């Protein structure tokens, strides 16, 4: 098993609270993601390929070309502003960075939320891209070279379904129920086998942006874990070229065809040897074998995006297939198939007796494991009744809770092979939230691991040997532009002077190997007393289950406060930016899971709603139009 061993704010003054939130609000306006530009007069080969891909994908309106801001400003102090023509009356949308996941210093992703929407950005040396999801509208950003991007609005009403080859497959009976508990921290290693057919499609479609495209597909599952309250779990991707030694199926029915190919890769001695050599828990075959056509017993033409050979977390021979031509930055094909290996199941198969099922949501959106889902309608969430998307619960209690299934089963799925990589992890040693002005100590934990020699693919036990050299860096943006060296030992102690911030530790072994770990940290309410008697629920690993949302936001005359702990709210106060309290009244709708605030006769602007109750202290920023 790949394991690494290793508050509550008490608000006393309304004006202190206002100063805190207003200060952070100003910070959020400092980072504009991009500006709209004209189409470049000349296009290189890679730009022409990306433009062709975006033009032929189902979309709404015109394609837009953007110029990204300097890397040093994107995500600075935890905020991102985005202005899209025809959206929010042309005014900026403001998003707060919630988490950042780093594969290495050059490959990372960030998640932000706010203004009724969600932003996911993926950074690689090839460029920046991702999605801007406004719940009822979806925009996709793809890199376009020279700090440029291509912005496309996808058609959420497109009827093409994202089909999976595991329809109606039954789980192997086990005595273990994963619908409660958490198995602890672990890493799942996935070996991605790139076939010649897949590489040809990638080169023809994405050109030099291929690595960005594959990074998105291989890493969006980690942000989905964060969104879904699945803490301390990570999927790590290793991609290699692979030429199958077996013959592809020629069956005319695509459901039989992909099943026969799955059996071939599952039984491949070469693939099994690669699985063992690379210490992989799951092997994913990335191909372009045209799984579009008739399905046995059905009329019409269908497309199967992928398939998994097991719904049993205890299996030690886990293989999947994903069809590269059906992968897209707005989809979660690999995450869906790997999810099956944890025992997660589709939405239509829910039987009312157990938890691991996806959800088709009432707003037309669908969680990652849901079937009968339009190809652009998936959200970056595994089902969880305690997590909202657009004000709607992403799961149902007791039945649609893929997140709980993963929390319980992840370590079994990650139990096949020893950790193969020299790695380091950052932890905060103090208990409770981080507060401005406080001094905190951060420690590093090293896993020596085993390495694969660059020649011969021979596992080596001499990986990451001590003694070690350390370098700690502090940054206010995820790109670590103008970062500062703050320590050179295994631990670092610093006084918190700004939030949000990022820490990176780089460790060099005595035999010349280097590994890094980067963490984003947010703060509790500054200048308040931090209760150290309880576990740190403000740590960057997980989303707070007590997080409330105001729906709609922006609003005109009324809002609904929604969230899993809404029944615990005892008081709501409203303040303007001058610190004056504005009289409001609210009432609770029984069994609706929301509180209504109506009759807000407010001038346009930003207002702060202070929500409090037993164990609750939270500020919601609401824009009144």
Q: Do 208 and 353 lie in a common domain?
A: yes
For residues 391-406, average pLDDT: 93
The span from the CA of 410 to the CA of 190, in Å, is: 13
At residue 18, the pLDDT reads: 38
Which of residues 194 and 7 earns the better pLDDT score?
A: 194
353 vs 73, more confident? 73
- Cβ neighbourhood burial of 202 (10 Å; 0-12, 13-18, 19+): buried
Count of the separate structural domains present in the chain: 4
With respect to residue 14, please indicate whether it lies within any of the assigned structural domains.
no
What are the angstrom distances between the C-alpha of 603 and each of 87, 156, 556, 573?
21, 34, 9, 17
DSSP-assigned letter for residue 70: P
Burial class (CB in 10 A: 0-12, 13-18, 19+), 611: buried
488-493 mean pLDDT: 95
Residues 204 and 236 grouped into a single domain: yes
C-alpha to C-alpha distances, 427 to 7, 332, 493, 610, nearest whole angstrom: 18, 30, 12, 31
Q: Give me the domain span that covers residue 456.
A: 423-522
Taking each helix axis from N to C terminus, what angle separates 333-341 and 402-413, rounded to the nearest 10 degrees? 70
Is it the case that residue 381 has pLDDT exceeding 70?
yes
Instruction: Extract the runs of DSSP E, i.e. beta strands, from 217-276.
Output: 233-241
258 found inside a domain: yes
Instruction: Using the predicted structure, report yes or no on whether residue 539 has a pLDDT greater than 70.
Output: no
**Which pLDDT value is given to residue 32?**
87
Residues 103/118, Cβ–Cβ less than 8 Å = no
278 and 245 co-located in one domain: yes
Final residue of a domain: which of 154, 173, 205? 154
The domain that contains 476 carries what CATH number? Answer: 2.60.40.10
Mean pLDDT of 302-309: 90
Pair 372, 515 in one domain = no
Domain boundary among 385, 414, 443: 414
3-class state of residue 403 by DSSP: helix
Question: Which residues pair with residue 475 across a beta bridge?
Answer: 502
Q: What percent of the chain has pLDDT over 70?
A: 84
175 is a domain residue: no
Please indicate, yes or no, if residue 7 is contained in any of the structural domains.
Answer: no
Q: The whole model's pTM is what?
A: 0.78
Q: Are residues 225 and 138 in the same domain?
A: no
- Token pair, residue 585, equals 């009244």
The confidence score (pLDDT) of residue 579 equals 65
CATH (domain of 578) = 2.60.40.1220
pLDDT band at 450 (very low <50, low <70, confident <90, very high): low
Confidence of residue 206 (pLDDT cuts 50, 70, 90): very high
With respect to residue 202, please indicate whether it lies within any of the assigned structural domains: yes
For residue 445, the model assigns a pLDDT of 85
Output the pLDDT for position 428: 86
Examine the pLDDT at 46 and tell me if it is beyond 60. Answer: yes
CATH at residue 409: 3.40.390.10
Average pLDDT, the chain: 83
Q: 14: which residues sit within 8 A by CB, 6+ positions away?
A: 573, 575, 579, 581, 610
Token reading at 52 = 């062709």
Statement: residue 17 has pLDDT above 60:
no
Same domain, 271 and 383: yes
Query: What is the chain's length?
Result: 625
- pLDDT at res. 19: 36
Please indicate, yes or no, whether residues 314 and 220 belong to a single structural domain of this protein: yes
Q: Model confidence over 581-594: pLDDT tens digits?
A: 787 777 776 555 67
Query: What's the DSSP call for residue 537?
Result: T
477 and 508 assigned to the same domain: yes
Residue 541 has pLDDT above 50, yes or no: no
Place of tokens 């309880």: 534
CA distances from 377 to 228, 328, 349, 362, 408 (A): 17, 12, 19, 12, 27
Alpha helix stretches (DSSP H) within 10-87: 14-28, 45-56
Residue 163 lies in a domain: no
Give the contacts of 292 (CB within 8 A, at least 6 positions apart).
254, 301, 302, 303, 304
pLDDT of amino acid 86: 92
Where is the domain boundary, 522, 538, 573?
522
Residues 148 and 198 in one domain: no
Q: Do 407 and 427 share a domain, yes or no?
A: no
200 and 311 housed in the same domain: yes
Average pLDDT of the segment spanning 374-383: 90
**The predicted structure's pLDDT at residue 172:** 57
Q: Residue 534 domain-assigned?
A: no
In a domain, 166, yes or no: no
Judge if 221 and 281 occupy the same domain: yes
* Angstrom distances, CA of residue 528 to CA of 14, 162, 370, 499: 12, 48, 43, 15
């Amino acid at each position: 098993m790949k394991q690494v061993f290793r508050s509550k704010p008490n608000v006393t003054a309304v004006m202190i609270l206002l100063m805190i939130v207003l200060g952070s609000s100003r910070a959020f306006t400092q980072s504009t993601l991009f500006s709209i530009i004209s189409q470049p007069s000349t296009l290189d080969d890679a730009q022409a390929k990306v433009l062709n891909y975006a033009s032929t994908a189902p979309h709404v309106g015109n394609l837009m070309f953007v110029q990204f801001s300097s890397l040093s400003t994107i995500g600075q102090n935890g905020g991102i502003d985005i202005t899209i023509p025809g959206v929010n009356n042309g005014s900026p949308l403001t998003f707060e960075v919630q988490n950042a996941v780093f594969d290495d210093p050059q490959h990372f992703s960030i998640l932000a939320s706010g203004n009724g929407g969600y932003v996911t950005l993926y950074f690689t040396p090839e460029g920046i891209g991702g999605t801007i999801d406004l719940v009822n509208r979806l925009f996709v950003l793809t890199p376009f070279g020279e700090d440029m991007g291509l912005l496309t609005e996808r058609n959420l009403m497109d009827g093409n379904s994202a089909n999976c080859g595991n329809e109606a497959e039954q789980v192997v009976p086990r005595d273990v129920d994963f619908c409660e508990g958490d198995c602890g921290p672990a890493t799942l290693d996935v070996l991605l086998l790139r076939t010649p057919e897949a590489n040809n499609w990638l080169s023809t479609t994405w050109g030099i942006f291929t690595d960005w495209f594959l990074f998105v597909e291989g890493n969006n599952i980690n942000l989905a874990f964060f969104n879904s309250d699945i803490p301390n779990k990570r999927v790590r991707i290793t991609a290699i070229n692979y030429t199958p030694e077996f013959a592809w199926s020629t069956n005319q029915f695509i459901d039989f065809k992909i099943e026969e190919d799955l059996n071939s890769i599952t039984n491949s001695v070469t693939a099994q040897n690669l699985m063992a050599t690379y210490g992989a828990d799951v092997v994913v075959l990335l191909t372009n074998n045209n799984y579009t056509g008739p399905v046995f017993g059905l009329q019409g033409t269908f497309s199967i995006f992928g398939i998994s050979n097991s719904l049993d977390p205890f299996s030690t021979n886990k293989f999947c297939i994903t069809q590269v031509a059906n992968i897209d930055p707005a989809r979660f094909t690999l995450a869906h198939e790997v999810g099956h290996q944890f025992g997660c199941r589709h939405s239509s198969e829910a039987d009312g007796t157990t938890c691991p099922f996806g959800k088709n949501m009432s707003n037309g959106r669908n969680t990652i494991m849901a079937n009968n889902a339009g190809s652009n309608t998936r959200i970056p969430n595994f089902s969880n009744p305690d997590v909202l998307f657009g004000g709607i619960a992403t799961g149902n209690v007791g039945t649609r809770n893929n997140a709980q299934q993963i929390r319980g089963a992840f370590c079994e799925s990650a139990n096949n092979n020893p950790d193969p990589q020299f790695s380091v992890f950052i932890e905060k040693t103090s208990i409770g939230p981080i507060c401005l002005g406080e001094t905190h100590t951060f420690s590093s934990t090293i896993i020596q691991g085993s390495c694969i020699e660059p020649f011969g693919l021979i596992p080596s036990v001499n990986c990451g040997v001590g003694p070690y050299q350390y370098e700690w860096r502090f940054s206010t943006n995820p790109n670590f532009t103008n970062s500062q060296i703050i320590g050179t030992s295994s631990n670092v102690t610093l006084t918190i002077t700004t939030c949000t911030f990022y820490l990176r530790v780089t460790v060099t072994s005595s035999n010349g190997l280097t590994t890094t770990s980067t963490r984003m940290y947010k703060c509790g309410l500054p200048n308040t007393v931090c209760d150290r008697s309880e576990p740190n629920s403000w740590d960057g690993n997980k989303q707070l289950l007590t997080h409330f949302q105001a729906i709609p936001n922006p609003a005109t005359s009324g809002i609904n406060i929604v969230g899993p702990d809404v029944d615990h709210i005892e008081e709501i106060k409203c303040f303007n930016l001058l610190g004056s309290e504005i009289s409001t009244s609210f009432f609770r709708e029984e069994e609706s899971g929301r509180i209504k605030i109506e009759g807000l006769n407010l001038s346009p602007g930003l207002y702060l709603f202070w929500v409090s109750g037993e164990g609750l202290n939270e500020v919601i920023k609401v824009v009144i139009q």
